[in-house]
Structure 1
């Protein structure tokens, strides 16, 4: 029965962590975003995040985005500096038309840093991207 279930490959949906200036506090904050770089809208986007390593585990956070239009992005959450020392996992499930998609994105510990910044599609910002 399990072999009969076909889970399609997720393409053109990414997670990025970008460093942005917080205007009120005058700090550089790390924020996670979901990017829909496809030509189709995503419906009922469910995101479950957590940070972990061998000794620590953050509480699980859950987020929902009702609709993420084609060629757009949405903020998922702010990441504290201490969390960057952990593996950061983003489990994303969404519908495209009547088809459900699911993918897990992982930023390995200490990979979110200023040396790893690169251009992020659609955002005109620099950050760390997981495809």
Structure 2
């Protein structure tokens, strides 16, 4: 039964949307997985999608699936590039990974208009400005 399953809570793992570089013509945004744990994450899988409304019309992006392999302790890995045009949508990242023989999963949801300068912090390990959910 579901009540017999262990409650595997994901801690010290974050998703960050980072302003990687900017020129007067364009900004380059990237999405990263940040592992702040003292142990590696194994067999990391992430699915990403965007959804919401724009001009009264429902919008859904394609679901992207990423197999990232292992992510070492106290490290980060790029998941994908992200276009500013989807910042007005809900951007969802569903993470799954193993620690030993236990599987963990967690949804990280960036709500519409949350990826703005006033929400930016200095992202640990990356040392760049971005918005992070952990």
Q: Report the TM-score when normalising by structure 1.
A: 0.93
The answer for the alignment partner of 1:45 in structure 2 is 44
**What CA distance in whole angstroms lies between the structure 2 residues aligned with 1:108 and 1:96?**
28
Is 1:7 paired with 2:7?
yes
The answer for the alignment partner of 2:112 in structure 1 is 109
What's the CA shift string for 1:2-61, capped at 9, x where partnerless?
A: 1111231001000000001168xx632111100000000011100000001141110000
How many corresponding residue pairs?
130
What is the aligned counterpart of 2:100 among 97, 102, 125?
A: 97
Pairwise CA RMSD? 1.6
For residues 56-71 of structure 1, the aligned pairs below 5 Å read 56-71=59-74
The answer for the alignment partner of 2:77 in structure 1 is 74
Q: CA deviation at 1:93?
A: 0.1
**What CA distance in whole angstroms lies between the structure 1 residues aligned with 2:61 and 2:16?**
19
**What CA distance in whole angstroms lies between the structure 2 residues aligned with 1:16 and 1:66?**
18
3-state SS, counterpart of residue 53 of structure 1: strand
User: Could you list the runs of 5+ residues in structure 1 that have no partner in the other structure?
Assistant: none
Q: CA deviation at 1:114?
A: 1.9
The answer for the alignment partner of 1:16 in structure 2 is 16
Distance 1:44 1:22, change over 3 A: farther
User: Could you list the runs of 5+ residues in structure 2 that have no partner in the other structure?
Assistant: none
